[in-house]
């Protein structure tokens, strides 16, 4: 399973997105059972995409993340390509559909 970098501030989040051409954010809360059940599945899925850099943000610790990314529910999964949001999945995440979306984007933008 992929280890997700922990981000603790909006500045860290912005720097992470800007430093990695393919960046993935997993936003959750401490007491969210759906978040905790989904995370290992996402970590496993991202094993197939080594050029995507994953990070985790606990919205309880970084409360400003909700306003920064217009988040109204959790978990939220965001994929950024060159700093632009390409994928947004929230609450109920269908892993098969997420994988299809990741495949399409990854094949078109993955670096050589």
List the domain boundaries for the chain: 5-109
**Rounded Cα distance, 69 and 98, in Å:** 19
As a dihedral over the C-alpha atoms of residue 7, residue 63, residue 76, residue 35, rounded to 10 degrees, the angle is 80
- Cβ-based neighbours of 79, under 8 Å, separated by 6 or more: 22, 23, 24, 52, 85, 86, 87, 101, 102, 105
Query: Where does the pLDDT of residue 3 fall: very low under 50, low under 70, confident under 90, or very high at 90 and above?
Result: very high
pLDDT tens-place string over residues 44-77: 999 999 999 999 999 999 999 999 999 999 999 9
Query: Where does the pLDDT of residue 111 fall: very low under 50, low under 70, confident under 90, or very high at 90 and above?
Result: low
What is the CATH code of the structural domain delimited by 5-109? 3.40.30.10
Average pLDDT rounded to a whole number, residues 97-103: 97
pLDDT tens-place string over residues 18-51: 999 999 999 999 999 999 999 999 999 999 999 9
């Amino acid at each position: 399973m992929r280890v997700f970098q922990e981000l603790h501030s909006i500045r860290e989040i912005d720097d992470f997105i800007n430093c990695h051409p393919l960046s993935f954010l997993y936003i959750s809360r401490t007491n969210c059972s759906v978040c905790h059940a989904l995370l290992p599945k996402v970590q496993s899925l991202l094993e197939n995409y080594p050029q995507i850099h994953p990070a985790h943000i606990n919205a309880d610790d970084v409360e400003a993340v909700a306003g920064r990314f217009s988040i109204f529910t959790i978990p939220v999964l965001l994929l950024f390509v060159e700093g632009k949001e390409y994928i947004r999945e929230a609450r109920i995440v269908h892993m098969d559909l997420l994988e299809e979306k990741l495949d399409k984007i990854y094949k078109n933008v993955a670096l050589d």
